[in-house]
Amino acid sequence: MTETAAARIRELNLYRRYFDLVAAGQKTIEVRVKYPHLEDLAAGDVIRFRIKGTEETCDVLVKRVTEYKSFEELLDGEGPVNVNPVSPREQQLANIRDIYSAEKEALGALAIEIELPPQ
């Protein structure tokens, strides 16, 4: 990517347990609700994850964004190991639903494929 075609940078908060997996390159799918501010998120964008209340950040490149109707459909389509390699599927589903209410899930679920930028 050249200076003239700079990527858009989105800042999103992330819990420590997920942040550490992203920073280690182990978590390759980020799960989000399809909020209006994420509707135009696309491959080539950069997400700057921040642990809320800290200055700690981790930048990742967006490779792909796929929409699903539900979190269950997303986990089945993307594979739970890509979403969280240290937690079983049913625990992941419970964790996601602790974060997002059923009303928010009804907006749609986004699977955001991410990768650490080259060093």
Q: Hey, where are the domains in the chain? A: 3-115
The three-point CA angle 113-62-99 to 5° equals 60
What local confidence, expressed as pLDDT, does residue 48 receive? 97
The reply to whether the predicted model has a pTM over 0.85 is: yes
Closest-CA residue to 27 (of 100, 91, 110, 116): 116
Per-residue pLDDT, averaged over 67-78, amounts to: 98
Q: Evaluate whether the domain defined by 3-115 bears CATH number 2.30.130.30.
A: yes
Q: Are 109 and 67 in contact (CB under 8 A)?
A: yes
Hey, CA dihedral for 33, 37, 41, 45, is it positive or negative? negative
What proportion of the chain, given as a percentage, has pLDDT over 90?
90
9, 31, 33, 70 from 78: Cα distances, Å: 24, 10, 15, 12
pLDDT at 5: 56
pLDDT of residue 6: 64
